[in-house]
Homo-oligomer: A and B are copies of this chain.
Amino acid sequence: MTKRPTILDVARHAGVSKSTVSLVLQNSPSVKNSTRIAVEEAMAKIGYVYNRSAAGLRGASSGLIGLVINDLRNPFFTEFAASVQMTFAEKGFATVVANTDEDPTLQANVIASMIEHGVNAFVISPTYANDKTVFDRLERSGIPTMQVLRQVDERTDVFPFFSLDYQTGSRLAARHLAEMGCENIAFVGGLEDRPVTLERVSGYDELMEAEQRRKTYFYGRPSRAFGRNIARRIAKDQNRPDGLICFSDLVALGMISGFAETGIQPGKDVRIIGFDDIEESSLCYPRLSTIRCDVSSFGKSAADALLGWLEKGSKPEAVKRYPVELIVRQSTLQF
């Protein structure tokens, strides 16, 4: 196991000084092209590997970005994380990722660890715990930090908040069901009082109030299991809603499967619309109408905004919401 070569070895092989090698590494324009090529050949020949620890010590960027996600097993967040990571990779940044599993203590730990590693920036989809100290520490660290998908800290001037326009989404869903002739529209899923739930309910509330309709909520974990349970519960109810806006596609898919067990046909006997537009929604039977949240391109946009901040110093706007889109499929149509 021979010692790994340094710029000094490269310099010797290329017949230049070690500063010149460093300049080549920085892609400095002040190096003659022939010299650059000679140096690069020397690096290839002796198997030189850039040592970022050394560079970092001298003040260079670590090339590391921290990505902290509250629930990495949830496909919605996974899609986001994958998109962000790949956007960073394109620009040469490596992503240090951590799943906090909604645990604020774990979140504090992983963020502390990432700061030690010298990450250049943070993208955080935070836990809902009211843990100000972690954001305080981030502020003191001076590391550019974006909160995404969940606004937990109100200092959006410090920690820009990017998300999707859920309010418009739920208004579109409610209006669509109303236009399809639904009399009794309910909202299903989402934990009460959570910011995301409030947002995804608000457009529904708005329309119901404007049209003086009765509002009905079935709150709960936005899971497939919850959707199925609610569907089975209300299946027997004569006065059950004839229009259902679900917190997420997962809830809606659970409802479809729950209704299937009880002989109720979505699209015919009841209209259901989801939220997110995950892949399965266009493949299930009946096809699920939904509010499309293009997480993948949202992730790319958020990552690009952060890179702009990092590389050009252009701080993103304090709050930004990306548009969502109504997708009409079988589950809200007579088919």
B116 pairs with A49, CB closer than 8 A? yes
**Chain A contact residues, CB within 8 Å of chain B:** 1, 47, 49-57, 62-64, 72-73, 75, 78-79, 81-82, 85-86, 89, 92, 94-99, 101, 106, 109-110, 113-118, 140-142, 224-225, 228, 254, 257-258, 260-261, 279-280, 283-285
Report the nearest B residue to A118, measured CB to CB. Answer: B53
Given contacts A51-B118, A89-B98, 8 further A-B contacts (CB under 8 A): A53-B55, A53-B56, A73-B78, A73-B79, A96-B97, A224-B283, A228-B283, A258-B285
B117 pairs with A89, CB closer than 8 A? no
The main secondary structure of chain A at its interface with chain B is helix
A283 pairs with B254, CB closer than 8 A? yes
A54 to chain B: which residues have CB within 8 Å? 53, 57
Report the nearest B residue to A85, measured CB to CB. Answer: B99
Identical subunits present: 2
A284 to chain B: which residues have CB within 8 Å? 257
The 11 sampled A-B contact pairs (Cβ below 8 Å) are A51-B57, A52-B118, A53-B55, A53-B57, A54-B57, A64-B117, A75-B78, A94-B114, A96-B96, A224-B279, A224-B280
In Å, the complex CA distance between A75 and B115 comes to: 29
Report the nearest B residue to A75, measured CB to CB. Answer: B75
B99 pairs with A97, CB closer than 8 A? no
Q: What distance in Å separates the Cβ of A115 from its nearest Cβ neighbour in chain B?
A: 6
Among A106, A118, A140, A283, the one with the most B-chain Cβ atoms within 10 Å of its Cβ is A283
A52 to chain B: which residues have CB within 8 Å? 53, 116-118
